[in-house]
Structure 1
Amino acid sequence: MSFQPRRSALYMPGSNERALEKARSLPADVLLLDLEDAVAPTAKIAARERVCSLVASKTFGAREVVIRVNAPGTPWHTDDLAAVAAASPSAVLVPKVSSPAVVQAVAEVVPVPIWAMIETPAAVLAAAAIASSSEQLTVLVMGTNDLANELRAGSAPGRPALVTALQTALLGARAAGKIILDGVYNDVRDAAGFEAECEQGREFGFDGKTLIHPSQVEPANRVFGPSATEITHSRAVLEAWARAEAEGQGVAVVNGRLIENLHVENAQRVLGAAEALNL
């Protein structure tokens, strides 16, 4: 399977025509065109029409373009799904997914891949079941603002109140073989804090991060993409492994460290990402 970069997934308000126009020139791997939180109730129908028309016209290039619909149970959800089905984006992002039944209901009416937001305690506890609920579901997305609110949690650096939830959701995604993206960082002026949270997310194992401002795209791409050091090491791993196999050995050594199958798989993943990103 080819690597699909999702280092940076930038929310863009569907009601803001200037923002949607600017999105064409931004280097984000994923554009999340939002019909939910970023759109006032009185503007939702117009935003839906604008976003779906733009998506259907294929004006955003080769990157993934995902539409976030309004949550199940809201007055706009059903019509959002019908419009998404007609526009055929890269995927539909569904908020407030609390159980597999929500995913299955969406899968019955949209033919595109489904991304599910994990943003409630119930969703975190059901993350493994949600992730495995449908082959159509490909990505989990952490909704950390709503989750923190429901947990009545603080916002200390390092997110200590959210660590258990983040890791539980990540375990659920990986158990089902699915991609998972970290939540947003709210202070767009705090570049150092944002980068530190990207580093934390990557260390945990997230595939990328959702963003709220274009200034966050470059650091997210850099942190969640393979570094030059990782690329060089991965090439050395594959070369050493090839030599070991040719000699009938089951292990290899690179820079004094034992190399096994799991290291080879990781090296292949890193080089696949580097190739997809032209690094």
Structure 2
Amino acid sequence: MRRVQASPVPLAYGGHPDHAADLFLPAEGAGPGVPLVLFFHGGFWRAEHDRQHVAGFARALAAQSGCAVVSVEYRRVGGGGGWPVTLTDAAQAVDRLPRLVAQAAPGRVDPARVVYAGHSAGGHLALWAALRHRLPDGAPGRTETPPAVLGVLALAPTADLAWADELGSGRGAVAAFLGGAREKVPDRYAAADPSALGVPAGRTVVVHGALDEALPVAMARRYTARVGATLHELPGAGHFDVIDPGAAAWPVVTEGVRTVVAGVEV
């Protein structure tokens, strides 16, 4: 089993207190120039959930995948986030953190080999970040060219915002995030919903539990079929099993990272 450095390296990608991130480096034996995973935590974009609940996940992923892992914070609903701030924070994070990581750990990480990853609402942000070149003109975070990313590992992602809103997922979390239902703010859904934006840059791998109690596995099935992504559906797994290093799902998660890095099934 690989090891990870004892303490994460704190990073700041902007001027707000929530423009913060923790860098988990694999032990020196992992070799120079390891890939970088930028990971967005979940919690339905709400302020009461922060990156601390995925610290163990990030540490284990760095230790067992051989990648450097950055656990990214961002402004959330109830703490100055929501539309469009949460999205612009995510865009700023992915644009700035690879360079900051390279400065913080010279030679240890290859900033040109980046994977976006996330769980639940964070899975939404990871997918969205890889779709910024497909956003409507004038949308927050839009880029003219595809992001320089190897791909996305999305764990139980909120991949279809309109569907999640119809379901009332997270006690109306999507409407709280975007400021209303799709009928009220259609332009926001058009600029934020991965299911409406096409195929993300790089390779996309989705891991979703068949017994997910927060977001139905049917959402992952429909999304991956629509964009041609790989789906690993886990029998017997719930919403949080995919971020639990002690769960049976864990080998599938670590293999998902390697698949995105390699660009082929491994």
TM-score (norm 1): 0.35
Higher helix fraction (1 or 2): 1
Task: Return the index of the structure with the highest Cα Rg.
Answer: 1
